[in-house]
Amino acid sequence: MGKPVWRLTVRSEFCASHALRHYEGKCENLHGHNFAVEAVVEGDRLSPGTEIVLDFKVLKGELNTVLDLLDHHNLNEVPPFDTINPSSENLARFIYTALAPRLAPHGVRMHAVTVSEKAAQSATYMECD
């Protein structure tokens, strides 16, 4: 039998504006989105007593703490997006790398972060060994 792994997923959102540099289209102009964010973490142990990997409330709280850095801002003015494009791909990587150390003390590890500008398309960031 293999090693057990549980994956937990929480979803949240933030509102922000951005302009994609060098896009050569309408998205090069400043515009806004209600960005949807999905964070997926993994754990290999259940807590004694409650038998959960991590309280969803804790996971969502940590995600929202990271999203507060972006919410209701012009992303082109928020580091590191003042120098790199605030694309969904880069937003997913930023959220992943900001969230990972916040979750380490809780005994879980990041699996993936997905960012959507619209329901029909999304960008996912993960790190593979």
Active-site residue list: 27, 72, 117
Q: How many other C-beta atoms are found inside a 10 Å radius of the C-beta of residue 33?
A: 18
Q: Is 18 annotated as a binding residue?
A: yes
Q: Is 33 annotated as a binding residue?
A: yes
Q: Is 22 annotated as a binding residue?
A: no
Take residue 119 and report the two structure tokens written for it.
């329901």
Annotated binding site for Zn(2+): 18, 31, 33
Annotated binding site: 18, 31, 33
